[in-house]
Amino acid sequence: MFNDLVGNAEVKKYLEKTIELDNASHSYMFVGKSGIGKRLFAREFAKKLLCLDKNCDGTCDSCIKFDAGTHTDFYELEPDGNMIKISQIRSLLEKISVKPVTSSKKVYIINDADKMNQESQNSLLKTLEEPAEYVTIILIVENENIILPTIKSRCIKVSFNKLKQEDIKKINPEISDELIEILDGSMSNVSTISANIVDYEAIKTLIGEIKSKPLQEFLKDADVLYNGKDNINSFLEYMNILFFKNGMIDAVEHVEKTKQKLLMNNNYEMCIDYLLMNAWKSVH
């Protein structure tokens, strides 16, 4: 159970025990930053709750339908754009009112539940206050401060930790240790990093040559930064990691000042000029 999921061993143990004892709550709130597996855990938990046999090897009618995406007693609600609208919650409540067909339970996952506005949350509240005996609702939340206290008080909170370095290595063995640090325990930006891996390698080469190259040559070889406006925040974090790793601590101060300049909408090229010239001077 949950064997294919990476990280958060304590959450695994808790959910496995819940299944084993058959004492699932009517409502849960899975809380943690994005990209750490909350949704994967929620789906696996839902599959086990709906399963027809505790000793099932994944071949019961319920599990087959779940894996095929045709299970009538399971539903995932996604935000409509940047929010979850009250019309979506009302539609969900209509589905909840229908008794299960395949399993003895029905499970509903609300992804990015912190995108519900107050009206949507209040619409959901009555169901959480008086849940049908066969229903389990799982809210997947990154910012729990947006969730109304009345909803939080009716959910069992399950806290997820960031992924460890070895967890990320299991998921993506090819990613370097320095790039793992940029991820900050989340897989959310892996695809972006992978798509720009050549740029990250160019930055690593640039920093590796900062002590050996004259300033003008160093600036000339920094096109990756001048042309990297769309990913500059990630590039700057990567530079900080490389500077720390190579003992160039003074250069980090200039990276941080560059971040502030960019936040203040200073001219982009001038910000990169400032960064490169002062970082170079700090190590010479």
Write out the chain's pLDDT in tens, 284 residues.
Answer: 778 899 999 999 999 999 999 899 999 999 999 999 999 999 999 999 999 887 788 888 999 999 999 999 999 999 998 999 999 999 998 888 889 999 999 999 999 999 999 999 999 998 888 888 899 999 999 999 999 999 999 999 999 999 998 999 888 887 888 888 888 888 888 888 888 899 999 999 999 999 999 999 999 999 999 999 999 999 999 999 999 988 999 999 999 999 999 999 999 999 999 999 999 999 88
| Chain centroid, CA 216 distance in Å | 41
What distance in Å separates the CA atoms of residue 77 and residue 139, rounded to the nearest whole number? 10
Q: Which residues contact 249 (CB under 8 A, 6 or more apart)?
A: 243
152-166 per-residue burial string, b: 16 or more CB within 10 A, e: under 16: bebbeebebbbbeee
pLDDT at position 68 is: 93
pLDDT at position 146 is: 93
* 203 touches 238 (CB < 8 A): yes
What distance in Å separates the CA atoms of residue 283 and residue 262, rounded to the nearest whole number? 23
Residue 110: closest CA among 141, 152, 65, 85: 141
What distance in Å separates the CA atoms of residue 207 and residue 59, rounded to the nearest whole number? 54
DSSP, collapsed to helix, strand or coil, labels residue 189 as coil
Interior CA angle at 159 toward 78 and 4, to 5°?
75
Single-letter amino acid code for the residue at 82: N
pLDDT at position 204 is: 94
**Would residue 265 be called left, alpha or beta, if left means φ above 0 and alpha means ψ between -120 and 50 degrees?**
left
Residue 235: closest CA among 208, 212, 258: 258
CA 99 vs CA 64, 96, 207, 230: distances in Å: 20, 7, 62, 49
